[in-house]
Structure 1
């Protein structure tokens, strides 16, 4: 950086070797000279922090003329620069050398070396100082370009990441991003937290191939697309498949690894989809940490290219107090070690890390900073709050699209988890089977999808109710399936399994419902 260059000149015995007492330095900014090093302590002259090139100051002169100015004596200084001299005459300066800092044939600033026990400059000294000015100018130009590139890279990376993480009722969330490299070498790592209807939240972690601005640009587009598909209500597998097609159609040679987790914070059901990414971890409330193996598909972009868009969904449950850890491979890649060793070390670090989520995230990043490394790191930690455990009287709702088998499977998991969480475990199989029949009936015999709602009714006796709404006004009817029939038994099963069931007409369709009494001892 520019500060590093100045520090080397002032504190590396450079001034002593040159016999100078101190230095001043100014850099060009918007047509003015910005004073960035101001000589001896207490020597700053008010009004000279920014000066014009047409003013009567030595740095202005050398920038204007592109020629060095050697001041041979105090008298020469006082005569040539009457505005400046009265402010610095007490410093005991006997001579000075002001050098234009020229890089690529244009002035980028000026350097002044001040002497207190020297009169005049020999020809060799002048040649040495001119050469020194040229060398310093090149160093400063590289430093300025470095700072600009780093600021650009950092700004681009930050612009592509979410500006803020939304508050998630029922969960604590901590996110971190660390760039392991400086300069232009930024990465395509990203995280995102997506609020979803019905007490659900989407958690995303991903990594676009490459370490450059193109990777960051692709990452930004992919993050927005994933967010849009998830917000539209698509299942996790569909979100991944569509994102892969989008990346493939971007006409880029980059692919991306990604993990998408849709978490129902009321029931704790987590649906995980992994596209070539490292497995997540789960930290128990007592601090124990374990790997969460999840069947995966090809990275985004590659799965579309090879026509393998099927992404398996792994369903797990996140208990209150448990923490889901999503991260990019930069956190577990260690020199000379394989990925499994890195994950084992991370697991131990999480196990022994602080309980507080923000402090734990900081600790993981501190490890990255200490280790160095060649890759960026993104981390997302999501902890299900204990206070958000399901309570009697709960209600869950989910949309099931007609042509989306993953959504039907997701609805089954939601119902199964809710029944257990709400104290009706003894009737879980009955509730799930009856609900499955109603949902399948709606998908097969109506146009459009279905909306499934499961809730607990309080009263003299607790009842669990399942509503399945569709957009058809045609009422369902019981019919004989026949000896070889494969359909027609749905409503008969519901009638046998449920304590009550019925049909309600709605303005834009109907609702078929069934209720189950929850035994008091549960």
Structure 2
């Protein structure tokens, strides 16, 4: 006899008889109450449910759970009061069943949701496939989103490697459900497979295939039509040559899309799936759109690489074809072109053997990034090399190169540093035209920037000046055995959007901590640039004097003093103060500068040929200042009257210096004075060397 039911039936009984349960979800605490019928719908016993969403996960497959989470989040964020959706649950016997949920969202007065009250029902008796429209909508949004995201990412791809990196990224195309993504590029009559996707499903044996071969990727390129394979049997029947490679893989279907740009095939994209079944019309349209976006990005990347290779080839053709072997030195050079398409930079370097153990090295940078800059670079390198080879002094050679560039009337300028080294004595002469200061790394690993007296960039009109100076003063220092001279262009140390000093600090740290071998050190320094400095080209030259490091001491720093050169004494005073700060005698800098100034004045006033100032730190911890000139007349102390305008110079030197004296030289004389530095100055470290360079 049937169970008697009151009329009208109670609401809870009506819901239970139709397998409709209720839930109450507290969003703040995360607790969700399910009534007994809702637990039956989810096929959960009361002891299996602890009131949390985590307990429901065992009945909801991950993909369905993700879809439901997205639906609820969309309703909460969109300000809606209701939502509903179909989803599958996993039954105890392993089968699946459709379930429907409908919820009402309660909100505070400010609109913040705090509770959801709803109904959960068994939807297995609903007509046909109740969740199909929802799944189709979700799939459509998912696939469209994949195409949009992938196209946006590929818009920034500038090389073929950039494109392949995107395609190999599981986040990019993995949402399409493919277990493997393959990219082939047309190369003559062949297809070169350049990218392989996920799960190790790549087939390396067919890395190169002919376009007329019986492979699906080849057919897509030949016919300009996509090839869809719906089952493993179709792989085996249609492409028996490919089947031996597909058979051991977890692949059950696939699609091969032609990549067409400007009406011609440039490659093909292969997607392999672990599912059987045909591709819907909508899926095919989305995949074709995806192939079109990838084709445009791939063509853009290929054109960029071709233009970049052409620019770099032209640039390298204008640089020295080889660096000569120089006895007594090891030299390393590097050049890296800017990543700016066909734009060509004007950076250059050169090495010039002069003879008798002397060698000239230069580095420079012409303004601009175009063919004019490259052409001027080639002309400047050759003309400066010619002036040096003719025997002109460094300052004169630089001055003539500047005049040459002005005569070309190009409205361009160039920066340059030229160094001439005598590898027998270690004497290094440097001249700078608006370029970065060079860096010297000592044999003990310490390094510092060398404050080279500079002139204007090449090609600019010279300043109005008196006397016969070239406008490019020469700074002289000692390159000891084991010391390394480093010259570079600003592309190596400048960082886009960063403080200019950041790159220089990184450069100095890399030099200080880097390997001794110049080739290895050059590689380390080039690695500093990476992709950060891709907007400018870069040149680097390293010269290391062979031999064991000399005993500790430091210097000498030298500066030529030309008659009538108003900048010479000022530069000399700068070197004196820098040396005092670096070598532990900063408190005596004023005394040293005044004494040196008196000796410089004597050399310039009482001789015709000018002179040279030299500073060095002796192993005994004394700073020695020497002024050489071409006059054989020895200076002498004399008493000056109250109203005399001269005669007090040597008296000042005698009072200020710890010791002084005069030495006859073959072509003149040397007047010297010494100042005792602190005990710590006998072994100055990197910080002191940097202070000397920065003054």
Q: 1:63-78 counterparts in 2 under 5 A?
A: 63-78=221-236
The Cα shift of 1:429 comes to 7.8
The Cα shift of 1:350 comes to 4.9
Partner residue of 1:161 out of 297, 319, 322: 319
Cα pair distance change 1:343/1:309, threshold 3 Å: farther
Counterpart-to-counterpart distance in 1, 2:503 and 2:195: 46
Partner residue of 2:454 out of 269, 282, 296: 296
Cα pair distance change 1:83/1:244, threshold 3 Å: same
State the partner residue of 2:365: 207
State the partner residue of 2:161: 3
CA-to-partner distance for each residue in 1:422-456, whole Å, 9 max, x for gaps? xxxxxx989x569xxxxxxxxxxxxxxxxxxxxxx
For the 8 Å contact 2:453–2:475, the answer to whether it is kept is no
State the partner residue of 2:281: 123
State the partner residue of 1:380: 541
Instruction: Quote the RMSD (CA, aligned, Å).
Output: 4.2
TM value normalised by structure 1: 0.64
Greater gyration radius = 2
Cα pair distance change 1:148/1:305, threshold 3 Å: farther
State the partner residue of 2:423: 265
State the partner residue of 1:44: 203
Counterpart-to-counterpart distance in 2, 1:70 and 1:344: 57
Cα pair distance change 1:126/1:363, threshold 3 Å: closer
The Cα shift of 1:181 comes to 4.5
1:278 aligns with 2:439: no
CA-to-partner distance for each residue in 1:343-367, whole Å, 9 max, x for gaps? 6776676556655545554554444
Counterpart-to-counterpart distance in 2, 1:330 and 1:57: 47
CA-to-partner distance for each residue in 1:260-289, whole Å, 9 max, x for gaps? 122222343333332222333444445554
The Cα shift of 1:98 comes to 1.9
Cα pair distance change 1:45/1:9, threshold 3 Å: closer
In the alignment, structure 1 segments of 5+ residues that lack a partner are 390-411, 418-427, 435-463, 467-492, 494-522
The Cα shift of 1:124 comes to 0.8
1:109 aligns with 2:267: yes
The Cα shift of 1:216 comes to 3.5
The Cα shift of 1:197 comes to 1.9
Q: 1:54-69 counterparts in 2 under 5 A?
A: 54-69=212-227
Q: SS at the partner of 1:227?
A: helix
State the partner residue of 2:246: 88
The Cα shift of 1:134 comes to 0.7
CA-to-partner distance for each residue in 1:352-402, whole Å, 9 max, x for gaps? 66555455545544444497575444333334445799xxxxxxxxxxxxx
Counterpart-to-counterpart distance in 1, 2:523 and 2:431: 26
Q: 1:419-458 counterparts in 2 under 5 A?
A: none
Q: 1:108-507 counterparts in 2 under 5 A?
A: 108-178=266-336, 181=339, 183-184=341-342, 187-212=345-370, 214-250=372-408, 252-303=410-461, 310-321=470-481, 322-333=483-494, 337=499, 350=511, 357-358=518-519, 360-369=521-530, 372=533, 374-386=535-547
CA-to-partner distance for each residue in 1:289-343, whole Å, 9 max, x for gaps? 444333333222224899999333314132423443333234454656466x876
State the partner residue of 1:482: none
Cα pair distance change 1:355/1:136, threshold 3 Å: closer
The Cα shift of 1:102 comes to 0.5
CA-to-partner distance for each residue in 1:103-127, whole Å, 9 max, x for gaps? 1221111122223322112111111
Q: How many residues in Structure 1 have an aligned counterpart in Structure 2?
A: 403
Counterpart-to-counterpart distance in 1, 2:221 and 2:436: 56
Q: SS at the partner of 2:178?
A: coil
For the 8 Å contact 1:247–1:301, the answer to whether it is kept is yes
The Cα shift of 1:45 comes to 7.4
Cα pair distance change 1:414/1:80, threshold 3 Å: farther
Counterpart-to-counterpart distance in 1, 2:532 and 2:210: 46
Cα pair distance change 1:93/1:248, threshold 3 Å: same
For the 8 Å contact 1:184–1:213, the answer to whether it is kept is no
Counterpart-to-counterpart distance in 1, 2:314 and 2:514: 32
TM value normalised by structure 2: 0.50
Counterpart-to-counterpart distance in 1, 2:539 and 2:309: 19
Q: SS at the partner of 1:302?
A: coil
